[in-house]
């Protein structure tokens, strides 16, 4: 099926959702959102860890728990599956759910390697079901506003784009310490921007030049130079060993736009030409005062993170009509990011730029 081709929607009672995996992020976001979302029922959760299943009883009392995806798929009321297990376990869970005829939402990144991502894609296309990847920042209000500015030509011709994504050092589970199972800055952090930036710019990544280093843990810092089908190269830095940050700068020849997900509720747009005349300078001064007040407010009350919930609710809405919304990342989008990641890994090993189209998953 094509990425946004309608699948067979769910009719009748509100659809039942099963969650596979009850780790840190699932407890923080997925379970509370699905527990409270209208138009859907959280009907089962699978996790092999008894402590994780006990956490379900506290978050969503009365929800049945089982120890694996096979048993969850035996539940007659599970119409769709949300996959929240460690990255290297995405493939068996997602493929089993698609083959059982369920709609599937897979947390990002789609898989730990390109071959596994391609096998998930094959199962999705054969299933005729909705398949989405949890690149939730597509649904963030900042992204929606930036897309509007770009589509309206509000920055003129793009000159440069750069982004930074950092998370503070913390104790990591074993699977997040090894890039083969989903660890490292490239898979854990950079994939968010590898999906979001081409989505915002309506373009594709064609080439990658990458360098990877290990500051505190294996491959915890990555720098990428990304060539596009149209527009300037993208510069991306991601690290799991620095103070938290998530910033994108879009520089055009008439204006710039800055997105700071962790510190600002609104994008900051600055025009290239200075204000002319007294009225222009007064407007600029007024804007500066207003921006200062907004910075102070956001510093006292940092922005909340709404996009996990919005993305999951978009999946729930897609179950009724059988098609993912245009803003959503489909399984095909997840494979596209996996191909960029594979190209980045090859570039870092070879020490040279690599074309994305020339990278393929192992048989």
Domain boundary assignment for the chain: 16-137+308-330+338-342, 141-305
What CATH code is assigned to 141-305?
A: 3.30.360.10
Q: pLDDT digit string (tens) for 60-101?
A: 999 999 999 999 999 999 999 999 999 999 999 999 999 999
Q: For domain 16-137+308-330+338-342, say whether CATH 3.40.50.720 is its number.
A: yes
Same fold, 16-137+308-330+338-342 and 141-305: no
Q: pLDDT digit string (tens) for 220-272?
A: 999 999 999 999 999 999 999 999 999 999 999 999 999 999 999 899 999 98
User: In this predicted structure, what is the pLDDT of residue 5?
Assistant: 52
Q: Which residue has the tokens 């728990």?
A: 65
pTM above 0.85, yes or no: yes
Average pLDDT over residues 130-158: 96
User: In this predicted structure, what is the pLDDT of residue 288?
Assistant: 57
Q: Output the average pLDDT for the chain.
A: 91
Average pLDDT over residues 102-124: 98
User: In this predicted structure, what is the pLDDT of residue 297?
Assistant: 63
CB-based burial label for 34 (10 Å; 0-12, 13-18, 19+): buried
Average pLDDT over residues 154-178: 92
User: In this predicted structure, what is the pLDDT of residue 292?
Assistant: 61
């Amino acid at each position: 099926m094509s990425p946004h081709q309608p699948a067979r929607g769910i009719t009748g009672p509100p659809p039942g959702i099963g969650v596979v995996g009850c780790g840190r992020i699932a407890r923080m976001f997925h379970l509370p959102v699905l527990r409270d979302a209208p138009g859907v029922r959280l009907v089962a959760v699978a996790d092999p860890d008894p402590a994780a299943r006990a956490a379900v009883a506290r978050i969503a009392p009365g929800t049945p728990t089982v120890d694996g995806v096979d048993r969850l798929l035996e539940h007659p009321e599970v119409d769709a599956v949300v996959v929240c297990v460690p990255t290297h376990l995405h493939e068996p869970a997602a493929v089993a759910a698609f083959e059982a005829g369920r709609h599937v939402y897979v947390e990002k990144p789609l898989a730990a390697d390109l071959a596994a991502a391609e096998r998930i894609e094959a199962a999705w296309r054969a299933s005729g079901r909705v398949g989405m990847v949890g690149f939730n920042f597509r649904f963030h209000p900042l992204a929606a506003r930036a897309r509007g500015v770009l589509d309206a030509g509000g920055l003129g011709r793009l000159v440069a784009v750069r982004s930074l994504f950092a998370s503070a050092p913390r104790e990591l589970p074993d699977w997040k310490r090894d890039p083969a199972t989903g660890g490292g800055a490239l898979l854990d952090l950079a994939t968010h921007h590898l999906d979001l930036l081409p989505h915002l710019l309506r373009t594709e990544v064609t080439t990658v030049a990458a360098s990877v280093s290990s500051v505190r843990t294996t491959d915890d810092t990555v720098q990428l130079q990304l060539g596009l089908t149209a527009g300037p190269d993208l510069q991306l830095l991601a690290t799991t060993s620095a103070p938290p940050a998530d910033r994108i700068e879009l520089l055009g020849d008439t204006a710039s736009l800055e997105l700071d997900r962790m510190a600002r509720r609104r994008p900051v747009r600055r025009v290239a030409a200075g204000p002319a005349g007294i009225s222009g300078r007064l407007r600029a001064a007024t804007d500066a005062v207003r921006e200062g007040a907004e910075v102070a407010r956001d510093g006292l009350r940092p922005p909340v993170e709404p996009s996990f919930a919005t993305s999951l609710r978009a999946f729930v809405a897609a179950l009724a009509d059988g098609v993912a919304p245009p803003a959503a990342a489909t399984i095909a989008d997840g494979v596209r990011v996996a191909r960029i990641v594979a190209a980045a890994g090859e570039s870092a090993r070879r020490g040279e730029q690599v074309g994305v189209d020339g990278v393929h998953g192992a048989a």
